[in-house]
């Protein structure tokens, strides 16, 4: 069992009076946070939630998400945060693929999902519940703590399973640049369904920091919290940082570190942000590594342009003969949910085969040359081109399709598609309108190109690099 020390993020006895949550003008102590989580855990028990059960959460970034996550941990259940931008059809696909029986949500659920799922629990039922019983079981380090969905090498999202140990190890490894303590304040500036956003919660609980919850992740709401509540720590994607700088937001002197990741980040952006007091670190990591495993400051970038930095303690990076980045760390994921084949293909002899290509220079600095599995990282969201291609090709007027990234100064990358159409009367705007019913908005191609045919290998595989260069 995990010991009852200050480093255990489910122990609060020594920090009851510390502020856990800052939301609007409301301060919530650790005592109040865990008291509510214990009540929710008791309510969930009455509703039949059992230990070692995977529980999908379709909840916006909110206090309710944090309370519910802690409650599930106290029960020994495993939260599975779902992207809140997904359409009902996409949610149904995940529930169907993994045979989830329960869904906790703050949204109105469609009939198709209601028919598939055994039990739907509304957040309001939990928050407003009057059950005063308290449950406070401490899970062990090796218990599973979360499943984070990430785009994989197939058209289906993969559930990355982390234990408490792997999350805590990542937190401790990264603290060499974060230097967190119980007086710090983290701005919840990334979606909780991403590993970066989820680790903001975990880092705060682990060190007894406060979590500042903004009204939304829009730049103006983040700016309000930066000005009014002076966070000591931020984690941003490049588009968020650019918008804050454009709004002429100057962080308070209490800011210690801004982590900038989630895809390609320009050197100039890091250097300019540093001059303005953002104290940025470009970081590299993934859902599989439990968040960041390398970091580089603005001053280092001046002598090591394009590098993502040196690896943290307890992280080892090897480069394979074909330039693939292999990572060994005590923060690696346990497995892919219900997918032994994918797990065994990625975790080999203790190393995570990332699929990213790069090199390490003589001084130990890592450089990324190509991202994993052709994933498109647009505004911090991962888009699997194979998933989008499948939807496009299912449309009756499209014969063939290739989806690929285009560099974009605002978003880092945007989703683009080259298509072969059967009906020439179909306009681009019509295609986009149809796709709104089938894909989350961030997955819909921003630009379309039209071709008579797409180049393929003799085995029928799309020649993606050739198509990207053509358009």
Domain count, the chain: 2
pLDDT at residue 15, as a whole number: 80
Question: Is the confidence at residue 3, as pLDDT, over 50?
Answer: no
Q: Is 225 helix (H, G, I), strand (E, B) or coil?
A: helix
Geometric angle at alpha carbon 341, from 339 and 343, rounded to 5°: 70
pLDDT at residue 382, as a whole number: 84
Same domain, residue pair 172 and 314: yes
Element (H, E) at 55: strand 54-58
pLDDT at residue 408, as a whole number: 87
Geometric angle at alpha carbon 413, from 368 and 315, rounded to 5°: 30
pLDDT class of 458 with cuts at 50, 70, 90: low
Which of 349, 370, 391 is at the close of a domain? 370
pLDDT at residue 152, as a whole number: 53
Same domain, residue pair 289 and 346: yes
The helices-and-strands tally (H runs, E runs) of the chain is: 15, 26
Residue 365 maps to a domain: yes
Question: Is the confidence at residue 134, as pLDDT, over 80?
Answer: no
Same domain, residue pair 304 and 405: no
Residue 229 maps to a domain: yes
Which of 321, 348, 370 is at the close of a domain? 370
Question: Is the confidence at residue 20, as pLDDT, over 60?
Answer: yes
Residue 14 maps to a domain: no
Q: Is residue 72 within 8 Å of residue 89, measured between CB atoms?
A: no
Residue 453 maps to a domain: yes
pLDDT at residue 7, as a whole number: 37
Distance CA 378, CA 200 (A): 21
Q: What is the pLDDT of residues 178-225, one digit of tens each?
A: 999 999 999 999 999 999 999 999 999 999 999 999 999 999 999 999
Sheet containing 447-450: give its strands across: 398-408, 412-421, 447-450
Same domain, residue pair 325 and 385: no
Rg of the chain, C-alpha, whole Å:
22
Residue 10 maps to a domain: no
> Which token pair is 122?
């509304």
Average pLDDT estimate for 157-176 = 95
pLDDT class of 88 with cuts at 50, 70, 90: confident
pLDDT class of 262 with cuts at 50, 70, 90: confident
Same domain, residue pair 122 and 24: yes
Look at strands 210-213 and 351-360 and give their pairing. unpaired
pLDDT at residue 108, as a whole number: 82
Mean pLDDT, the chain, rounded, equals 89
The highest-confidence range among 369-383, 433-447, 448-462, by mean pLDDT, is 433-447
Geometric angle at alpha carbon 10, from 199 and 259, rounded to 5°: 20
Residue 6 maps to a domain: no
- State how far the alpha carbon of 60 is from the alpha carbons of 9, 35, 196, in Å: 22, 21, 15
Distance CA 82, CA 147 (A): 9
Between 10 and 104, the higher pLDDT residue:
104
Same domain, residue pair 222 and 349: yes
> Which token pair is 285?
């990591």
Distance CA 143, CA 162 (A): 9
With 0-12 / 13-18 / 19 or more C-beta atoms within 10 angstroms meaning exposed / middle / buried, residue 72 is buried
Q: Is residue 331 within 8 Å of residue 173, measured between CB atoms?
A: yes
Look at strands 351-360 and 324-329 and give their pairing. antiparallel
pLDDT at residue 8, as a whole number: 65
Backbone angles phi and psi of 119, in degrees to 5: -145, 130
pLDDT class of 87 with cuts at 50, 70, 90: confident
pLDDT at residue 146, as a whole number: 98
Taking the model in full, what pTM does it have?
A: 0.84
Question: Is the confidence at residue 467, as pLDDT, over 60?
Answer: yes
Same domain, residue pair 130 and 277: yes
Same domain, residue pair 317 and 186: yes
Residue 9 maps to a domain: no
Between 124 and 348, the higher pLDDT residue:
348
Closest by alpha carbon to 42, among 67, 66, 14?
67
Closest by alpha carbon to 316, among 293, 333, 283?
293
Distance CA 432, CA 259 (A): 34
Average pLDDT estimate for 360-385 = 85
Same domain, residue pair 238 and 205: yes
Which of 347, 370, 393 is at the close of a domain? 370
pLDDT at residue 259, as a whole number: 97
Average pLDDT estimate for 231-243 = 93
> Which token pair is 389?
């291609």
Average pLDDT estimate for 144-167 = 85
Same domain, residue pair 364 and 411: no
Average pLDDT estimate for 284-293 = 96
Instruction: Please say whether the dihedral angle defined by the alpha carbons of residues 354, 356, 357 and 359, taken in this order, is positive or negative.
Output: negative
* CATH code of the domain covering residue 324: 3.40.50.12780
Average pLDDT estimate for 279-308 = 96
**Domain span at 427:** 375-470
Average pLDDT estimate for 299-311 = 96
Question: Is the confidence at residue 271, as pLDDT, over 50?
Answer: yes
Same domain, residue pair 345 and 205: yes
Same domain, residue pair 249 and 140: yes
* CATH code of the domain covering residue 425: 3.30.300.30
Quote helix, strand, coil % in the chain, to nearest 5.
30, 30, 40
Residue 7 maps to a domain: no
Distance CA 426, CA 401 (A): 15
% residues pLDDT > 70 (the chain)? 91
pLDDT class of 407 with cuts at 50, 70, 90: confident
pLDDT at residue 384, as a whole number: 82
Question: Is the confidence at residue 5, as pLDDT, over 60?
Answer: no
pLDDT at residue 17, as a whole number: 86
Question: Is the confidence at residue 113, as pLDDT, over 80?
Answer: no
């Amino acid at each position: 069992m995990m010991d009852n020390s200050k480093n255990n993020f489910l122990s609060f006895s020594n920090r009851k009076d510390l502020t856990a949550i800052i939301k609007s003008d409301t301060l919530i102590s650790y005592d109040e946070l865990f008291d509510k989580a214990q009540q929710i855990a008791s309510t969930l028990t009455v509703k039949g939630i059992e230990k070692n059960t995977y529980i999908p959460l379709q909840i916006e970034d909110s206090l309710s998400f944090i309370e519910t996550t802690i409650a599930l941990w106290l029960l020994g259940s495993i939260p599975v945060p779902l992207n809140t931008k997904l359409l009902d059809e996409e949610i149904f696909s995940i529930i169907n693929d993994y045979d989830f029986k329960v869904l906790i949500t703050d949204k109105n659920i469609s009939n198709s999902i209601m028919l598939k799922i055994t039990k739907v629990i509304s957040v309001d039922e939990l928050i407003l519940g009057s059950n005063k019983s308290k449950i406070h079981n401490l899970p062990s380090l090796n218990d599973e703590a979360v499943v984070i969905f990430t785009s994989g090498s197939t058209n289906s999202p993969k559930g990355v399973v982390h234990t408490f140990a792997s999350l805590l190890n990542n937190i401790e490894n990264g603290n060499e640049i974060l230097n967190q303590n119980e007086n710090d304040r983290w701005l919840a500036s990334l979606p909780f369904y991403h590993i970066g956003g989820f680790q903001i919660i975990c880092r705060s609980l682990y060190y007894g920091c406060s979590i500042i919850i903004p009204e939304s992740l829009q730049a103006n709401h983040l700016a309000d919290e930066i000005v009014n509540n002076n966070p000591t720590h931020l984690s941003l994607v490049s588009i968020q940082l650019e918008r804050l700088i454009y709004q002429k937001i100057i962080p308070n002197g209490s800011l210690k570190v801004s982590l900038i990741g989630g895809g390609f980040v320009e050197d100039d952006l890091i250097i300019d942000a540093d001059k303005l007091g953002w104290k940025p670190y470009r970081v590299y990591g993934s859902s599989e590594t439990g968040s960041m495993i390398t970091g580089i400051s603005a001053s280092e970038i001046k002598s090591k342009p394009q590098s993502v930095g040196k690896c943290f303690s307890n992280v080892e990076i090897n480069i394979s003969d074909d330039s693939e980045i292999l990572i060994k760390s005590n923060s690696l994921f346990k497995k892919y949910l219900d997918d032994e084949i994918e797990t065994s293909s990625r975790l080999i002899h203790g190393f995570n085969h990332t699929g990213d290509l790069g090199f390490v220079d003589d001084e130990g600095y890592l450089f990324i040359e190509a991202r994993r599995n052709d994933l498109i990282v647009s505004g911090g969201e991962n888009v699997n081109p194979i998933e989008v291609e499948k939807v496009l090709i299912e449309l009756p007027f499209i014969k063939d399709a290739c989806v690929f990234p285009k560099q974009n100064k605002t978003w880092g990358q945007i989703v683009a598609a080259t298509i072969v159409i059967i009906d020439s009367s179909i306009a681009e705007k019509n295609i986009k309108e149809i796709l709104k019913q089938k894909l989350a908005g961030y997955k819909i191609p921003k630009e379309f190109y039209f071709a008579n045919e797409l180049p393929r290998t003799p085995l029928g595989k799309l020649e993606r690099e050739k198509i990207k260069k053509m358009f």
